[in-house]
Chains A and B, each alone.
Chain A
Amino acid sequence: MPVLGCVCLRPGLRVDDSWGPRVLWCVVSRCRSEPEGHVPPTTLPALPGVSLPHRLFYRYQDLAPQLVPLSYTSRPDVKVPYELIGSMPELKDNPFRQRIARVFSDDGDGHMTLDNFLDMFSVMSEMAPRDLKAYYAFKIYDFNDDGYICVWDLGQTVTKLTRGELSAEEVSLVCEKVLDEADGDHDGRLSLEDFQNVILRAPDFLSTFHIRI
C-alpha cells in the first residue's frame, strides 16, 4: 500500500501534525528521509534519561540482537519474527497479542519491522488520539480481516477473554447481545462506524487500551 511520507497515513485517515506522539513520527521519518542520520549506538537502553524513541529502538534490537543491526543507515529490510515479539514482557500475558502483531505487521503475518514496532507502541501509548486507537482496536478485534466484526469475530474475542470457560450457549448469548446493542445499520455485523460509536463513549477505553513502555 502506498505510504506517503509519514507512516501514519497507512489507514487512509488523514492526520495532521498535532496528532500522535510527535517524537515517534519524527524518528520514523528520520529513518526514511535523512540518509545522513542514524540512530547512534550509545549506552544501555534501561536508563530513564534516554529518550523514548531510542529506548524503543534498543528494545527492538534486544529482541533479536543478531538480526537487527545497530545502524539503520543502509536501510536494512529486517523483520523480527512473531515468536520474539509475542514473548515481550508487555505482551506475553495479553490474549490478543497475536492479533496485535498481525495488525501492525506489513504482511499480516506477525513479523514486524522497526517501523511496525514503532507504530504499534505509538498507537498504544498514552498520547495517541482516541480515534486512532478506536481504528486499530477495530482491526485487532476483526479476526478474519474482512473489514467488519461479525458474529464469528465476536465469538473469538469472548473466548479469548474468558479462556474458554464460558459454554457455547453463553458465548452466543453474549454475541447476540453485543449485536443488539451496537449494530446501528442492522446488517448483522459491526462496521467501523458502529464500533466507533460504541467505543468512543466507553469510559474505560482510553485507560485499558494502553501499553506503557
Chain B
Amino acid sequence: MMMAKKWAKFLRDFENFKAACIPWENKIKAIESQFGSSVASYFLFLRWMYGVNMVLFILTFSLIMLPEYLWGLPYGSLPRKTVPRAEEASAANFGVLYDFNGLAQYSVLFYGYYDNKRTIGWMNFRLPLSYFLVGIMCIGYSFLVVLKAMTKNIGDDGGGDDNTFNFSWKVFTSWDYLIGNPETADNKFNSITMNFKEAIIEERAAQVEENVHLIRFLRFLANFFVFLTLGGSGYLIFWAVKRSQEFAQQDPDTLGWWEKNEMNMVMSLLGMFCPTLFDLFAELEDYHPLIALKWLLGRIFALLLGNLYVFILALMDEINNKIEEEKLVKANITLWEANMIKAYNASLSGNSTGPPFFVHPADVPRGPCWETMVGQEFVRLTVSDVLTTYVTILIGDFLRACFVRFCNYCWCWDLEYGYPSYTEFDISGNVLALIFNQGMIWMGSFFAPSLPGINILRLHTSMYFQCWAVMCCNVPEARVFKASRSNNFYLGMLLLILFLSTMPVLYMIVSLPPSFDCGPFSGKNRMFEVIGETLEHDFPSWMAKILRQLSNPGLVIAVVLVMALTIYYLNATAKGQKAANLDLKKKMKQLQLLVASSFQSYAGGPEVLLTLRFKTNDFCKGQEHKHCEVTVPLFSP
C-alpha cells in the first residue's frame, strides 16, 4: 500500500517536472493576454517546430558529426579534408567563412569532409551506413511527428459547418478568455460589436443587384496581375542563379558584397515584397475578408513554392555540370599521378634508398563535389533569410513604431490612427515563412549535417526576438479572421512541404552518382549501395539471402495489397462504430425524455442518475471482456 502511494507520488512529481520543463510558458502567456489566442498560436507553432528540430539536431549531431569528429581522421590528413593550396591564404578570412567556403567548407559541417572508410575508430563505427540511415530516419521522424499532430487535432475540426451555426458561434465563442489586458479587451469588444453589426446587415440585406460583369472583369484582371507577378518572380530567380554561376567563374576579389549574395537576397526580398503586391491586387477583387485571406494565403504559398522549385531546378543544372566536369577531372588526375610517379622514380634513380613518396594533401588536385555545393547553397539561403527577416522586423516594425511614437507631436495628421500607425502582427505571413524555412532545412540537411543545428540557433533567437518585437512594436489586430479552423490547415501545409522537400532529396539519392572524391559514399555507384554492402559484410549470409528474397517484386506487391485492404477494413469499421454511437445517443435521449416526463412534478431533492451497463466494451471505455458503464443524468434539481 505504501509502495503504491509512493509510486503515485513519484508519477505526480514527474508530471509536474515535465510540465515545468516546457520552455517559454510565461512569455507565451504574456502574449496571449495582450494579443489573444490567434497571435499566440504562431508562437505555439514556433515552439513545436523548435522541439522537432531539436530531435533532428540530436540525431545528426550525435550519430554523424560527433563520431567523425572523435574517431575520423583529423583535418589535414586526407586531400578531401584539407583546404587546397590555392585557397589556403584566404581560408580563414571572415568574408570567406561567411560564405561557408574555406575552413568552414572543409569541416564536419558539410558532406564533403566525411571519409568513405567502412568503419572508423576503435568501436568500428560504420559511418557511411550511419550517415545514410540518419538521413532516412530524419525524414521518417518528421513525417511521423507531423501526422501525429494532425490526428490529435482532427477531433477539434468542426466538420465544415460554416454557416449553420453562424450566430450561435458568434455569441458563445467569440469572447477570448485568455485576454488579461484592458486595451486588448477594448479591441475585442469593438471587434465583436462590429462583427455582430456586419452579420446583422448581411442578414437583413435584400439581394442587391450588383454589376456582375464589372466585378468579374476586375477579378479576372487581378488574377492576371498575380499570374504575371508569379511568372516574373520565377524568371528573376532563374536569372539570378545563372548570374551566380557566372560570378563563380570569376575571381572572388573582383566581386562586391551584392554580387556574392545576389541570389539569396533576391529570393528573400521576393518573398518579402510580393505578398504586399498580392494584397494590393486583392483590392480589385472585393471579396469578403475571410475569402480574400484564403486567396492571399494560396497565392503566397504558390509564390514560395514556385521560388523553391525554380531554385532547385537551377541547382540541378549546376549539379549536372559538376558531374560532367568530374569525368574531365578524373582523366586529369590520372595524368598527374603518372607524372608524379615518373618524377619520383627519376629522383630515386640516383640512390637506392630515398625519402618515401609523399605529396602534401593540400597539393593534390581535387575533384568537384556537388553535394557540398548543394549543402552550401541551402546554408547560405537559410542564413540570408534569417538576416532579411530580422532586418525587416527592425526597420518595418521597430523603426516605424519609433517614428510614429516620437514624430507624432510635430506632424500634421495623427500618425497613430491614420497612416502609417503601428503594424499589426501578420500571423499567416509569419507561419508560411516558418513552414517554408523548415522545408529548406529538410531539403538541405542530408548534404549539410550542420543545418538542423543552425536552425535550432535560428528558432531560439527568433523566439526571443519576435516576442520582444511583438510586445514592443505591434498592436492587436482590429479584426481577426482566422484562416484555419483548427491548426490543421497549417499542419496540412507543413505536411505538403515536407513531402515536396523530400522528393528532390530522394531523387538525388537514388539516381545521381555520388562524387568520386568526397563524402562517405565516394567510390560507390549509388548512395544506397551502402545498405547492400553492410548486409554482405556485417550480417550472416543466410540473413542476406532472406532479405534478398524479401525484396522480390511479387512479395512487395502482395504486401502493398494487404496494407490497402487493411486500411479499407479499418475505415469501414470506424464508420460503422460512429453510426452505432449516434444510434445509441438517440436511444438514450428518448429514454431520458420518457423518464423525465413522468417526473414532471418533481421539484427539489437529489439528482437521479441512470447507469447503463454494457456487456461488451464496444460503446465505452473499459477492460476487455468486462462490462462497462455509462451514467446519464435523468433529473437534476
Q: How far is the CA of A93 from the CA of B32 in the complex (A)?
A: 13
Are A170 and B196 also in contact (CB < 8 A) when A16-B621, A162-B189 are?
Answer: yes
Tell me how far the C-beta of A11 lies from the nearest C-beta in chain B, rounded to whole angstroms: 8
Tell me how far the C-beta of B484 lies from the nearest C-beta in chain A, rounded to whole angstroms: 8
B482 contact set on A, CB distance < 8 A: 203-204
B157 contact set on A, CB distance < 8 A: 203
Q: Does B554 contact A (CB under 8 A)?
A: no
B630 contact set on A, CB distance < 8 A: 14
Are A181 and B165 also in contact (CB < 8 A) when A208-B176, A209-B177 are?
Answer: yes
Chain A residue total in the interface (Cβ 8 A): 58
Are A94 and B179 also in contact (CB < 8 A) when A12-B633, A26-B12, A49-B20 are?
Answer: yes
Complex interface: stretch among B166-174, B233-241, B248-256, B316-324 = B166-174
B175 touches A52 (CB 8 A): no
What mask results when residues 606 to 637 of chain B are scored 1 for a CB within 8 Å of chain A, else 0?
Answer: 11010000000000010000000111010010
A154 touches B171 (CB 8 A): yes
Tell me how far the C-beta of A91 lies from the nearest C-beta in chain B, rounded to whole angstroms: 8
Q: Does A83 contact B (CB under 8 A)?
A: no
A109-145 CB contacts (< 8 Å) to partner B: 124, 137, 141
A198 touches B165 (CB 8 A): yes
Are A198 and B197 also in contact (CB < 8 A) when A95-B175, A203-B157 are?
Answer: no
A28-50 CB contacts (< 8 Å) to partner B: 48-50
B171 touches A158 (CB 8 A): yes
Are A178 and B189 also in contact (CB < 8 A) when A203-B156, A208-B173, A208-B174 are?
Answer: no
B629 contact set on A, CB distance < 8 A: 14
B193 touches A199 (CB 8 A): no
Are A90 and B180 also in contact (CB < 8 A) when A203-B156, A207-B41 are?
Answer: yes
B180 touches A202 (CB 8 A): no
B159 contact set on A, CB distance < 8 A: 201
Q: Does A186 contact B (CB under 8 A)?
A: no
Q: Does A62 contact B (CB under 8 A)?
A: no
Chain B residue total in the interface (Cβ 8 A): 61
B171 touches A52 (CB 8 A): no
Tell me how far the C-beta of A38 lies from the nearest C-beta in chain B, rounded to whole angstroms: 15
What mask results when residues 88 to 102 of chain A are scored 1 for a CB within 8 Å of chain B, else 0?
Answer: 011011111000000
Residues of A within 8 A of B (CB): 1-2, 11-14, 16, 18, 22-23, 26, 48-52, 89-90, 92-96, 124, 137, 141, 147, 154, 157-158, 161-163, 165-166, 170, 173-174, 177-178, 181-182, 193, 195, 198-199, 201-212
**What are 18 contact pairs spanning A and B, CB under 8 A?**
A11-B633, A12-B609, A14-B629, A14-B630, A14-B631, A23-B16, A89-B33, A161-B175, A162-B189, A170-B200, A173-B200, A181-B164, A181-B168, A193-B589, A198-B165, A201-B158, A203-B157, A211-B178
